[in-house]
A and B are shown apart, each in its own frame.
Chain A
Amino acid sequence: MRLRIRFTKLGKVRWTSHRDVARMWERAFRRVGLPLAYSEGFTPRPKVSFGLALPTGHESMAEYLDVELSDAEAGAPDLVALKARLSAALPEGIEVAALCVLEPGSPSLQEDVEACSWRWLAVPGEGSLPLSVDDLGKRVAHALAAPALEVARWRKGRETTVDIRPGIGRLEVVEADGEGVWLDADLAARPQGVRPADVLAALGPDLEERHVRRTHQWIVRRGERLEPLGSQGVPQAPHAEARAS
Chain B
Amino acid sequence: MTSLWPRIEPLLAHVSKPARYIGCEDGAVGAGSLEGLVSWLLVYPDSYEIGLPNQGLQILYEILNERPDARAERAYAPWPDMERLMRRSSVPLFSLESHHPAAAFDVLAFNLSAELVYTNVLNCIDLAGVPVRAGERDERHPLVLAGGHCAFNPEPLADFVDAFVIGDGEEAVGDITEVVKSEGRSRHALLRRLAATPGVYVPAAYTVDYDGPRLVSVRKVWSEAPEVVHKRTVSDLAAWPYPKRQLVPLTEVVHDRLNVEIFRGCTRGCRFCQAGMITRPVRERPSSQVRRMVSEGLARTGYDEVSLTSLSSADFSGIEDVVGGIVDDPASARQVSVSLPSLRVDAFTVGVAAHIQKVRRTGLTFAPEAGTWRMRQVINKLITEEDLYGAVESAFSQGWRRVKLYFLTGLPTETDEDTLGIAELARSCASIGRSHHRGATVTASVGGFVPKPQTPFQWFGQETLDGLQRRIGLLREATRRDRAVQLKWHDPRATLAEGIASRGDRRIGAVIEQVWRRGGVFQEWSEHFSLELWTEAMAAQGLSVDWYVHRERDRDEVLPWSHISAGLHEDFLWQEWQDALAASGTPDCRWTPCYDCGACTGYGLEHVVASTVAPAGGSQGTGQNLARGGEVPVRLLARVTAGVPR
Q: Which residues of A are interface residues toward B (Cβ below 8 A)? A: 12-13, 15-17, 19-20, 23-24, 26-31, 35, 38, 42-44, 56-57, 89, 91-93
CB contacts under 8 Å to A, within B393-432, are: none
Docked complex Cα distance between A27 and B252 (Å): 13
Which of B12, B19, B304, B361 contacts A17 (CB under 8 A)? B19
- Contact between chains at B252 and A15 (CB < 8 Å): no
User: Can you name the residue of chain A whose Cβ is closest to the Cβ of B301?
Assistant: A27
- Contact between chains at A57 and B303 (CB < 8 Å): no
Docked complex Cα distance between A242 and B380 (Å): 64
| Smallest beta-carbon distance B611→chain A, Å | 33
| Smallest beta-carbon distance B20→chain A, Å | 9
Q: Is B13 an interface residue (CB 8 A)?
A: yes
CB contacts under 8 Å to A, within B284-304, are: 298-304
| Smallest beta-carbon distance B451→chain A, Å | 40
- Contact between chains at B23 and A27 (CB < 8 Å): no
- Contact between chains at A56 and B18 (CB < 8 Å): yes
Docked complex Cα distance between A29 and B303 (Å): 10
Which of B13, B252, B299, B359 contacts A19 (CB under 8 A)? B252
A20-B250, A44-B359 are contacts. A92–B13 as well, Cβ < 8 Å?
no
Q: Is B314 an interface residue (CB 8 A)?
A: no
Docked complex Cα distance between A78 and B321 (Å): 37
Which of B13, B299, B335 contacts A31 (CB under 8 A)? B299
A42-B362, A57-B12, A89-B302 are contacts. A27–B248 as well, Cβ < 8 Å?
yes
Q: Across the interface, which residues of A come within 8 angstroms of B18, CB to CB?
A: 15, 56-57
- Contact between chains at B21 and A15 (CB < 8 Å): yes
| Smallest beta-carbon distance B334→chain A, Å | 7
- Contact between chains at A17 and B251 (CB < 8 Å): yes
- Contact between chains at B251 and A20 (CB < 8 Å): yes
- Contact between chains at A43 and B252 (CB < 8 Å): no
User: Can you list 13 residue pairs at the A/B interface with Cβ under 8 Å?
Assistant: A12-B23, A15-B18, A15-B22, A17-B19, A19-B252, A26-B302, A29-B302, A30-B304, A31-B301, A42-B359, A42-B360, A42-B362, A56-B18
Q: Across the interface, which residues of B come within 8 angstroms of A89, CB to CB?
A: 302
- Contact between chains at A16 and B302 (CB < 8 Å): no
- Contact between chains at A16 and B301 (CB < 8 Å): no
- Contact between chains at A31 and B302 (CB < 8 Å): yes
10 interchain residue pairs of minimum CB distance: A27-B302, A31-B302, A15-B18, A30-B302, A12-B22, A16-B19, A20-B251, A16-B250, A15-B19, A15-B22
Q: Across the interface, which residues of B come within 8 angstroms of A29, CB to CB?
A: 302
A12-B23, A15-B18, A15-B19 are contacts. A31–B250 as well, Cβ < 8 Å?
no
Q: Across the interface, which residues of A come within 8 angstroms of B359, CB to CB?
A: 42-44
- Contact between chains at B302 and A91 (CB < 8 Å): no
Q: Across the interface, which residues of B come within 8 angstroms of A42, CB to CB?
A: 359-362
Which of A13, A26, A57 contacts B24 (CB under 8 A)? A13
User: Can you name the residue of chain A whose Cβ is closest to the Cβ of B401?
Assistant: A42
A42-B362, A56-B18 are contacts. A30–B23 as well, Cβ < 8 Å?
no
Docked complex Cα distance between A17 and B19 (Å): 8
- Contact between chains at A92 and B251 (CB < 8 Å): no
Q: Across the interface, which residues of B come within 8 angstroms of A91, CB to CB?
A: 24, 26, 250
A15-B12, A20-B251, A57-B13 are contacts. A92–B24 as well, Cβ < 8 Å?
yes
- Contact between chains at A24 and B12 (CB < 8 Å): no
| Smallest beta-carbon distance B249→chain A, Å | 9
Specify which of B248, B301, B334, B359 lies most central, judged by the most chain A CB atoms within 10 Å of its CB.
Answer: B334
Q: Interface readout for B11-34 with A: 1 if CB under 8 Å, 0 if not?
A: 011000011011110100000000
Q: Across the interface, which residues of B come within 8 angstroms of A23, CB to CB?
A: 252
Q: Across the interface, which residues of A come within 8 angstroms of B250, CB to CB?
A: 13, 16, 20, 24, 91
| Smallest beta-carbon distance A103→chain B, Å | 27
User: Can you name the residue of chain A whose Cβ is closest to the Cβ of B251?
Assistant: A20
Docked complex Cα distance between A26 and B252 (Å): 13
Q: Interface readout for B235-276 with A: 1 if CB under 8 Å, 0 if not?
A: 000000000000010111000000000000000000000000
- Main DSSP-derived SS at the B contact region: loop
User: Can you name the residue of chain B whose Cβ is closest to the Cβ of A27?
Assistant: B302
| Smallest beta-carbon distance B94→chain A, Å | 13
Task: State the interface size on chain B (CB cutoff 8 A).
Answer: 26
Q: Across the interface, which residues of B come within 8 angstroms of A20, CB to CB?
A: 19, 250-252
Specify which of B22, B298, B303, B359 lies most central, judged by the most chain A CB atoms within 10 Å of its CB.
Answer: B22
User: Can you name the residue of chain A whose Cβ is closest to the Cβ of B302?
Assistant: A27
| Smallest beta-carbon distance B261→chain A, Å | 21
Q: Across the interface, which residues of B come within 8 angstroms of A12, CB to CB?
A: 22-24
Docked complex Cα distance between A145 and B18 (Å): 38
| Smallest beta-carbon distance B96→chain A, Å | 10
Specify which of B22, B26, B250, B361 lies most central, judged by the most chain A CB atoms within 10 Å of its CB.
Answer: B250
Q: Across the interface, which residues of B come within 8 angstroms of A19, CB to CB?
A: 252
Q: Across the interface, which residues of A come within 8 angstroms of B13, CB to CB?
A: 57
Specify which of B21, B24, B302, B359 lies most central, judged by the most chain A CB atoms within 10 Å of its CB.
Answer: B302
Docked complex Cα distance between A229 and B12 (Å): 32
Docked complex Cα distance between A38 and B335 (Å): 9
User: Can you name the residue of chain B whose Cβ is closest to the Cβ of A89?
Assistant: B302
- Contact between chains at A31 and B300 (CB < 8 Å): yes
Docked complex Cα distance between A93 and B21 (Å): 16
- Contact between chains at B22 and A13 (CB < 8 Å): yes
| Smallest beta-carbon distance B437→chain A, Å | 14
Q: Across the interface, which residues of B come within 8 angstroms of A17, CB to CB?
A: 19, 251
User: Can you name the residue of chain B whose Cβ is closest to the Cβ of A15?
Assistant: B18
Docked complex Cα distance between A23 and B256 (Å): 11
Q: Across the interface, which residues of A come within 8 angstroms of B299, CB to CB?
A: 31
Q: Across the interface, which residues of A come within 8 angstroms of B21, CB to CB?
A: 15
A12-B24, A13-B24, A17-B251 are contacts. A43–B19 as well, Cβ < 8 Å?
no
Docked complex Cα distance between A184 and B423 (Å): 64
- Contact between chains at B302 and A28 (CB < 8 Å): yes
**Given known contacts A20-B251, A24-B250, A26-B302, what 17 new A-B pairs fall within 8 Å (CB)?**
A12-B22, A15-B12, A15-B19, A15-B21, A15-B22, A17-B251, A19-B252, A20-B19, A31-B301, A31-B302, A35-B334, A42-B359, A42-B362, A43-B360, A57-B12, A91-B24, A92-B24
| Smallest beta-carbon distance A221→chain B, Å | 35
| Smallest beta-carbon distance A169→chain B, Å | 26
User: Can you name the residue of chain A whose Cβ is closest to the Cβ of B331?
Assistant: A33
- Contact between chains at B19 and A30 (CB < 8 Å): no
Q: Interface readout for B338-368 with A: 1 if CB under 8 Å, 0 if not?
A: 0000000000000000000001111000000
Docked complex Cα distance between A51 and B361 (Å): 31
Q: Across the interface, which residues of B come within 8 angstroms of A26, CB to CB?
A: 302, 304
User: Can you name the residue of chain A whose Cβ is closest to the Cβ of B15?
Assistant: A15
Specify which of A26, A42, A93 lies most central, judged by the most chain B CB atoms within 10 Å of its CB.
Answer: A42
- Contact between chains at B335 and A44 (CB < 8 Å): yes
- Contact between chains at A30 and B334 (CB < 8 Å): yes
| Smallest beta-carbon distance B459→chain A, Å | 47
User: Can you name the residue of chain B whose Cβ is closest to the Cβ of A43?
Assistant: B360
Docked complex Cα distance between A31 and B299 (Å): 6
| Smallest beta-carbon distance B245→chain A, Å | 13
| Smallest beta-carbon distance A122→chain B, Å | 14
Q: Interface readout for B354-396 with A: 1 if CB under 8 Å, 0 if not?
A: 0000011110000000000000000000000000000000000
Q: Across the interface, which residues of A come within 8 angstroms of B304, CB to CB?
A: 26, 30
CB contacts under 8 Å to A, within B550-600, are: none
User: Can you name the residue of chain A whose Cβ is closest to the Cβ of B300?
Assistant: A31
Q: Across the interface, which residues of B come within 8 angstroms of A57, CB to CB?
A: 12-13, 18
Q: Across the interface, which residues of A come within 8 angstroms of B23, CB to CB?
A: 12
Q: Across the interface, which residues of A come within 8 angstroms of B361, CB to CB?
A: 42
User: Can you name the residue of chain B whose Cβ is closest to the Cβ of A34?
Assistant: B334
Docked complex Cα distance between A26 and B305 (Å): 12
Specify which of A27, A30, A35 lies most central, judged by the most chain B CB atoms within 10 Å of its CB.
Answer: A30
Docked complex Cα distance between A15 and B360 (Å): 31
Docked complex Cα distance between A31 and B304 (Å): 10
Docked complex Cα distance between A17 and B23 (Å): 14
Q: Across the interface, which residues of B come within 8 angstroms of A28, CB to CB?
A: 302
Q: Across the interface, which residues of A come within 8 angstroms of B12, CB to CB?
A: 15, 57
Docked complex Cα distance between A27 and B334 (Å): 12
